[in-house]
A = this chain, B = another copy of it.
Amino acid sequence: MAELVKVVVDAMGGDNAPEEPVKAAVEAVKEREDIFVILTGLEDVIKKELNKYQGYPEERIQIVHTSEVIETAEPPVFAIRKKKDSSIVVGLNLVKKHEADAFVSSGSTGAVLVGGQVLVGRSKGVERPPLAPLIPTMEGVSLLIDCGANVDARPSHLVQFAKMGSIYMEQVVGIKNPRVAIVNNGAEEEKGNVLVKETFPLLKETEGINFIGSIEARDIPSGYADVIVCEAFVGNVILKLYEGVSGSLIKKIKGGMMKNLRSKIGALLIKPALKETLKDFDTTKYGGAPLLGLKGLVVKTHGSAKAVEIKNAVFQCVQFKQQKINEKIAERIQPPVKAESHQEN
């Protein structure tokens, strides 16, 4: 049998806690024999949820009781410092102490990001750990790196994102020689803001990545690149606009279908086929966004994640551990050379 992978699932995090995270845990251990789930959260509440299920391998689910819950609206740094006995802090500390391999949470993004960096800690040489969600495209998925909370990145950060993203797409998603592009306001090399102009030549020189140049936002949904490198503010705009435009457009289309009797009948006929198609383009489907470059794995799932997404994130963690992604990242990311440090302020 394969080595057991221990994944902490935050039973208190997200809009659908504790129901969906607990359900995800049960389904994960049922489906795969190489998974052990630790649920962090209020023991009574978790036990009550677990009691709904029968016939699953109970010996591969453990509850670690925590008395506090970090709410989404709480200031992250403060919450991580004060709520030592929260499901997030305790979960991250289990990863830190190597008592678990990974932590998955649908809770406060800010708290998970801050906690991941402060508690689990950055790998040696990693300047800034990026949050990298998978986004749907016409051809499958692309990795959008960085969508984290730390904005105003430096060129050396973006170069590290390109390397980490390439390793992730190749080893976890299984795309050979993934195409790396930098988000730009035009296709030509001379385009860009100061950050992009400084980063572009560095990416061209970076060995071991398949850099294909600039990508205009228009071409992101078509699947033109596998690893889409950008600064976190821009990444946030891309991720959220993706959700916003597709959500609004689908609402519009549904409205259009209800316009008259003829279209209503048509809508009934195409509904099943359309539902299937639209699922492919749902950003929440690929719910697990890893926070890369840490000493352990931290995955943030969408706040509204359902059990299936959380379960998929748990499966990602197995792939992550088996492929030794952390080790590969640590190997490939060299500590920044001293000459660059004057840029920091």
The chain A residues found within 8 Å of chain B, CB to CB, are: 137-138, 149, 151-152, 183, 185-186, 192-194, 196, 216-222, 232-234, 236-253, 255-257, 259-260, 262-263, 265-274, 276-278, 280-281
Contacts and interface: CB of A to CB of B under 8 A. Distances in A.
30 contacts: A149-B185, A151-B192, A151-B193, A216-B236, A217-B239, A218-B241, A218-B243, A221-B244, A221-B245, A221-B247, A222-B244, A237-B237, A237-B238, A241-B241, A245-B246, A249-B250, A252-B277, A253-B274, A253-B277, A255-B277, A256-B277, A256-B278, A260-B273, A262-B269, A262-B272, A262-B273, A263-B272, A266-B266, A266-B267, A270-B270
- Chain B CB count within 10 A is highest, among A192, A196, A257, for A257
Contacts of A271: 266
Contact of A234 (B233, B269, B277, B281): B233
A225 to B, nearest CB: 13
A265 B268 CA distance: 10
Given A237-B185, A237-B238, A249 B252 contact: no
Contacts of A256: 270, 273-274, 276-278
A241 B242 contact: yes
Q: Which 8 A-B pairs have the closest CB atoms?
A: A266-B269, A256-B277, A266-B270, A221-B248, A263-B273, A218-B240, A217-B240, A217-B241
Given A237-B237, A262-B269, A265-B269, 15 more contacts: A138-B252, A149-B185, A151-B194, A192-B233, A218-B243, A220-B241, A221-B247, A221-B249, A222-B248, A246-B249, A248-B281, A249-B250, A256-B278, A266-B271, A269-B269
A241 B256 CA distance: 23
Contacts of A218: 240-241, 243-244, 247
Contacts of A185: 149, 151, 232-233, 236-237
A149 B193 CA distance: 10
Which of A149, A232, A236 lies at the interface centre, i.e. has the most chain B CB atoms within 10 A of its CB?
A236
A167 to B, nearest CB: 26
A238 B236 contact: no
Contacts of A239: 217
Contact of A248 (B138, B149, B247, B252): B138
A140 to B, nearest CB: 13
A263 B275 CA distance: 11
Contact of A268 (B216, B266, B272, B277): B266
Nearest to A267: B270
A257 B274 contact: yes
B268 A280 contact: no
Nearest to A186: B236
Nearest to A247: B221
Nearest to A236: B185
Contacts of A192: 151, 233
